[in-house]
Amino acid sequence: MAPEPFTGSTTPVEVTHHILSVLVENKAGVLSRVAGLFSRRGFNIYSLAVAPADESERFSRITIVVDAASAPIAQVVGQLNKLINVVEIRDMAPGEADERELLLATVQADEASRDSLLEHVGDAGASVIDFSATAVTVSLAGTPSAIDAFEAFLVGHDHAVEIQRTGRVALPRLNPSA
Protein backbone atom coordinates (compact mmCIF):
# COMPACT_ATOMS: atom_id res chain seq x y z
CA MET A 1 0.00 0.00 0.00
CA ALA A 2 1.25 3.46 -0.87
CA PRO A 3 2.35 5.63 2.01
CA GLU A 4 0.27 8.64 2.93
CA PRO A 5 2.81 11.41 3.53
CA PHE A 6 0.34 14.29 3.41
CA THR A 7 -1.63 13.64 6.56
CA GLY A 8 -3.10 15.96 9.11
CA SER A 9 -5.61 17.73 6.93
CA THR A 10 -9.04 17.92 8.49
CA THR A 11 -12.02 19.83 7.21
CA PRO A 12 -15.28 20.59 9.05
CA VAL A 13 -17.06 17.88 7.10
CA GLU A 14 -14.97 15.25 8.85
CA VAL A 15 -16.56 16.16 12.16
CA THR A 16 -20.22 16.11 11.19
CA HIS A 17 -20.51 13.97 8.11
CA HIS A 18 -22.45 10.77 7.71
CA ILE A 19 -22.26 8.52 4.70
CA LEU A 20 -25.50 7.23 3.29
CA SER A 21 -25.19 4.34 0.89
CA VAL A 22 -28.52 4.38 -0.89
CA LEU A 23 -29.66 1.54 -3.12
CA VAL A 24 -32.19 2.85 -5.63
CA GLU A 25 -34.17 1.48 -8.53
CA ASN A 26 -32.39 2.58 -11.66
CA LYS A 27 -35.40 4.50 -13.02
CA ALA A 28 -35.51 7.73 -15.00
CA GLY A 29 -35.38 10.72 -12.69
CA VAL A 30 -34.28 8.85 -9.57
CA LEU A 31 -31.24 11.05 -9.01
CA SER A 32 -33.45 14.11 -9.41
CA ARG A 33 -35.84 12.71 -6.79
CA VAL A 34 -33.00 12.22 -4.31
CA ALA A 35 -31.34 15.56 -4.99
CA GLY A 36 -34.67 17.38 -4.97
CA LEU A 37 -35.55 15.89 -1.59
CA PHE A 38 -32.29 17.17 -0.11
CA SER A 39 -32.77 20.68 -1.44
CA ARG A 40 -36.43 21.09 -0.50
CA ARG A 41 -35.89 19.78 3.04
CA GLY A 42 -32.77 21.87 3.56
CA PHE A 43 -30.37 18.93 3.96
CA ASN A 44 -26.85 19.65 2.72
CA ILE A 45 -25.00 17.26 0.44
CA TYR A 46 -21.22 17.36 0.70
CA SER A 47 -20.56 14.91 -2.09
CA LEU A 48 -22.47 12.43 -4.16
CA ALA A 49 -21.42 9.51 -6.35
CA VAL A 50 -23.64 7.25 -8.46
CA ALA A 51 -23.07 4.03 -10.37
CA PRO A 52 -24.99 0.88 -11.30
CA ALA A 53 -25.03 -1.59 -8.42
CA ASP A 54 -25.62 -4.85 -10.25
CA GLU A 55 -24.92 -6.35 -13.64
CA SER A 56 -28.51 -6.05 -14.80
CA GLU A 57 -28.34 -2.35 -13.98
CA ARG A 58 -31.76 -2.64 -12.36
CA PHE A 59 -30.38 -0.90 -9.27
CA SER A 60 -27.91 1.89 -8.70
CA ARG A 61 -26.03 2.84 -5.57
CA ILE A 62 -25.86 6.49 -4.58
CA THR A 63 -23.21 7.31 -2.01
CA ILE A 64 -24.08 10.58 -0.32
CA VAL A 65 -21.91 12.38 2.19
CA VAL A 66 -24.37 14.35 4.28
CA ASP A 67 -23.63 17.34 6.44
CA ALA A 68 -25.23 15.96 9.60
CA ALA A 69 -25.24 19.43 11.14
CA SER A 70 -27.85 20.53 8.59
CA ALA A 71 -30.48 18.07 9.83
CA PRO A 72 -30.84 15.11 12.21
CA ILE A 73 -29.56 12.11 10.31
CA ALA A 74 -32.64 10.06 11.28
CA GLN A 75 -34.82 12.67 9.59
CA VAL A 76 -32.70 12.54 6.44
CA VAL A 77 -32.92 8.74 6.37
CA GLY A 78 -36.65 8.80 7.16
CA GLN A 79 -37.47 11.20 4.36
CA LEU A 80 -35.22 9.37 1.89
CA ASN A 81 -36.92 6.09 2.73
CA LYS A 82 -40.24 7.59 1.67
CA LEU A 83 -39.04 7.83 -1.92
CA ILE A 84 -40.65 4.88 -3.66
CA ASN A 85 -37.52 4.19 -5.76
CA VAL A 86 -35.28 3.99 -2.67
CA VAL A 87 -34.88 0.33 -1.80
CA GLU A 88 -32.35 0.33 1.04
CA ILE A 89 -30.29 2.85 3.01
CA ARG A 90 -27.12 2.15 4.95
CA ASP A 91 -26.15 4.95 7.32
CA MET A 92 -22.48 4.97 8.24
CA ALA A 93 -21.08 7.30 10.87
CA PRO A 94 -17.44 8.41 10.68
CA GLY A 95 -15.33 5.43 11.71
CA GLU A 96 -17.84 2.90 10.47
CA ALA A 97 -16.93 3.15 6.80
CA ASP A 98 -14.04 2.40 4.50
CA GLU A 99 -14.09 5.42 2.22
CA ARG A 100 -12.25 6.06 -1.01
CA GLU A 101 -12.23 8.85 -3.51
CA LEU A 102 -10.49 9.52 -6.82
CA LEU A 103 -8.80 12.77 -7.82
CA LEU A 104 -7.58 13.81 -11.27
CA ALA A 105 -5.45 16.91 -11.66
CA THR A 106 -3.75 18.61 -14.55
CA VAL A 107 -0.63 20.31 -13.25
CA GLN A 108 1.80 22.76 -14.86
CA ALA A 109 5.16 21.10 -15.19
CA ASP A 110 7.87 22.58 -17.34
CA GLU A 111 11.29 20.98 -17.49
CA ALA A 112 12.58 22.95 -14.54
CA SER A 113 9.83 21.95 -12.13
CA ARG A 114 8.87 18.56 -13.46
CA ASP A 115 11.31 16.40 -11.51
CA SER A 116 10.44 17.81 -8.12
CA LEU A 117 6.74 17.63 -8.88
CA LEU A 118 6.95 14.02 -9.99
CA GLU A 119 8.82 13.14 -6.83
CA HIS A 120 5.98 14.52 -4.71
CA VAL A 121 3.45 12.78 -6.92
CA GLY A 122 5.25 9.52 -6.38
CA ASP A 123 5.50 10.07 -2.63
CA ALA A 124 1.76 10.64 -2.47
CA GLY A 125 1.08 7.38 -4.28
CA ALA A 126 -0.39 9.23 -7.25
CA SER A 127 0.39 8.28 -10.82
CA VAL A 128 0.89 10.16 -14.05
CA ILE A 129 -1.77 9.28 -16.58
CA ASP A 130 -1.12 11.88 -19.30
CA PHE A 131 1.52 14.46 -20.13
CA SER A 132 2.58 17.19 -22.57
CA ALA A 133 5.57 19.49 -22.85
CA THR A 134 4.18 21.88 -20.24
CA ALA A 135 1.82 19.84 -18.09
CA VAL A 136 1.05 16.43 -16.62
CA THR A 137 -2.21 14.91 -15.54
CA VAL A 138 -2.03 12.81 -12.39
CA SER A 139 -4.50 10.62 -10.57
CA LEU A 140 -4.77 9.59 -6.95
CA ALA A 141 -7.20 7.17 -5.36
CA GLY A 142 -7.22 7.16 -1.60
CA THR A 143 -8.89 8.07 1.62
CA PRO A 144 -10.63 11.42 1.65
CA SER A 145 -8.01 12.85 4.01
CA ALA A 146 -5.17 11.73 1.72
CA ILE A 147 -6.98 13.28 -1.24
CA ASP A 148 -7.53 16.47 0.77
CA ALA A 149 -3.85 16.64 1.61
CA PHE A 150 -2.71 16.01 -1.95
CA GLU A 151 -5.14 18.62 -3.25
CA ALA A 152 -3.85 21.11 -0.70
CA PHE A 153 -0.31 20.45 -1.87
CA LEU A 154 -1.23 21.03 -5.52
CA VAL A 155 -3.18 24.19 -4.78
CA GLY A 156 -0.62 25.50 -2.31
CA HIS A 157 2.23 25.18 -4.75
CA ASP A 158 0.22 26.93 -7.42
CA HIS A 159 0.82 24.08 -9.85
CA ALA A 160 -2.74 23.06 -10.53
CA VAL A 161 -4.52 23.97 -13.73
CA GLU A 162 -7.64 21.91 -13.08
CA ILE A 163 -8.68 19.52 -10.33
CA GLN A 164 -11.58 17.05 -10.44
CA ARG A 165 -12.74 14.88 -7.54
CA THR A 166 -15.31 12.10 -7.84
CA GLY A 167 -16.92 12.27 -4.42
CA ARG A 168 -16.66 9.36 -2.06
CA VAL A 169 -17.75 5.78 -2.29
CA ALA A 170 -17.85 3.67 0.84
CA LEU A 171 -18.52 0.26 2.30
CA PRO A 172 -19.05 -0.62 5.95
CA ARG A 173 -15.83 -1.38 7.82
CA LEU A 174 -15.33 -5.01 8.62
CA ASN A 175 -13.95 -4.10 12.04
CA PRO A 176 -15.61 -0.85 13.01
CA SER A 177 -13.69 1.35 15.43
CA ALA A 178 -13.46 4.94 16.41
Site size for another protein (CB under 8 A) = 22
Beta strands in 54-131 (DSSP E): 59-67, 86-92, 97-108, 127-131
- Residue 153 is classified by DSSP as H
Q: Which of 1, 40, 42, 132 touches another protein by CB under 8 A? A: 40
With CB under 8 A as the contact rule, the residue among 1, 74, 112, 133 that binds another protein is 74
Q: Where are the beta strands (DSSP E) in 37-147?
A: 44-52, 59-67, 86-92, 97-108, 127-131, 135-142
Site stretch for another protein (CB under 8 A), options 2-10, 86-94, 121-129, 166-174: 86-94
Q: Which residues contact 55 (CB under 8 A, 6 or more apart)?
A: none
Q: Which is nearer to another protein, 89 or 170 (CB)?
A: 89
Q: Which residues bind another protein (CB under 8 A)?
A: 24-25, 28-29, 32-33, 36-37, 40, 72, 74-75, 78-79, 81-88
